Structure 1
Amino acid sequence: MPNYRPPDTMTGTPGKAVFARGTLLYRVHGSHRAARDFNPRPAHCLYGGGRFDGTSCDPYGYLYAGLTPAAAVCETLLRSLPFDPSGGPRLLPRAAVEGRRLSTGRLAADITAVPLLSAQELAAVHQDSWLVHTESHDYAYTRDWAHWIRRHTAPWAQGLVWSSKREPADRTVVLFGDRCPDGTLHTVEEDAVDFSTADGREWLNSLLQPYYVQLAP
């Protein structure tokens, strides 16, 4: 709940989810940034920013990824995209994919994250599904909770993992740059999909079709 401040102490015992070396992670990102790069820019403590970004209150680099290409695409591109009342496909504006690509990264080392998948795992950090399902108007609060979880799981927690809001069958992760060694993620260059190309747009439309979404003309 957004009006519930984190307690002073963590009385639960957070779980540990280990992603083995070699695990593939997928992310949709600006083509100006390499797939392995963490975002170094802190979000504002109150305005803008993502669910679990670092801020000036806890300035860490962050990298969001999906455990499947669908999770990465849905989390990034299908936010607040309404259904057509007439039953037609949802139209994704071309501007939403301009300068973007889907990249694949391979973990070069084991990574340990705090799982936020089940009600029990969320309760262990004094929370419920609000933390991972609320919309952007509450992200200032979810960032504060992420900072609190980090403080109470230092130094071992290198990220968080939760069920994708837009594709609940898949998982989404955020990795913390200050707890992941350099070279944690290796880019698999041959698997990149550039959305500025005809082939990339065809690939994207194929993935989006089961979600009743297509790129706008």
Structure 2
Amino acid sequence: MPNVPPPAALPGTPTKVTLPEGTPLFRVHSSARSATAFNPAPADRLYGGGRFDGTDGRPYSCLYAGLEPAGAVCEVLLRSVPFAADGGPRLLPRAGVVRRSFSFLRLAADVTVVSLMSGADLASVGQDAWLVQAEAAEYPWTRNWGHWIRDRTEPWAQGFVWPSKREPADRAVILFGDRCARDAVAESETSAVDFATPDGEDWLNSVLAPYHARVAP
């Protein structure tokens, strides 16, 4: 429901879900940033940024991850990448890939999040599938709704979980840095994958292959 402001009050009771300690998380992130670091940079109120980022007017650090490897890759790297008219693979610009890595993480504590998985979950916060399916051009509105939901689930909601737009079989999660312990996310024993290396590129292309995509030559 784009361009519709949130109501005065929650129409229902938001669905609480606890992601237990030990839950695997998978993250595509800047290679210059620690795998477990929450992003402290607020999004512009109108331009760029992610679906539920903080902004200058509503600042908070955040960490996006997938609950499966493919979902994490697709959410970050296949955003707004069209299929080729000639039927060839979707080509990811190399410049947008080589500065990134893939990390295997886990929750080091239980985390309670608002579920946005089902129609009933979304209706409880006055929304429908638009909130978790909108494209990037509408993120200023999804961010506004995210701030509104955060406000009305304070202090217990430490993040949100929703179906990945680009791999609907997987789930995406955002964790809020101001509501999670500093050590709530830890690295697993599996080494990170650096996409700038030949082995890293091969690994990434193997994940992208079922989605008819690959890194451009």
TM-score, with normalisation over the residues of structure 2?
Answer: 0.97
| Partners of 2:104 and 2:192 within 8 A in 1 | yes
| Partners of 2:11 and 2:123 within 8 A in 1 | no
How many residues are paired up? 217
Q: Is there any run of 5+ residues in structure 2 with no aligned partner, and where?
A: none
The equivalences for 1:60-75 within 5 A come to: 60-75=60-75
Looking at structure 2, the residues matched to 93 and 45 of structure 1 have their Cα atoms a distance apart, in angstroms, of 26
Aligned-pair CA distance for 1:57: 2.3
- Deviations 1:85-128, CA, capped at 9 Å, x for gaps: 22211111111212110011111100011011110000000000
The answer on 1:33 being equivalent to 2:33 is: yes
Looking at structure 2, the residues matched to 124 and 85 of structure 1 have their Cα atoms a distance apart, in angstroms, of 40
Looking at structure 1, the residues matched to 164 and 5 of structure 2 have their Cα atoms a distance apart, in angstroms, of 24
The equivalences for 1:144-155 within 5 A come to: 144-155=144-155
| Partners of 1:100 and 1:195 within 8 A in 2 | yes
| Partners of 1:13 and 1:125 within 8 A in 2 | yes
Aligned-pair CA distance for 1:11: 2.7
Q: Which residue in the other structure is 2:136 paired with? A: 136
Looking at structure 2, the residues matched to 71 and 17 of structure 1 have their Cα atoms a distance apart, in angstroms, of 19
What amino acid is the match of 1:106? R
What amino acid is the match of 2:192? A
The equivalences for 1:162-177 within 5 A come to: 162-177=162-177
Runs ≥4 residues deviating over 6 A: none
Q: What percent of counterpart residues are identical?
A: 60
Q: For 1:72, what is the secondary structure of its paired residue?
A: helix
The equivalences for 1:1-40 within 5 A come to: 1-40=1-40
Looking at structure 2, the residues matched to 10 and 143 of structure 1 have their Cα atoms a distance apart, in angstroms, of 17
> What RMSD in Å do the two structures reach over aligned CA positions?
1.0
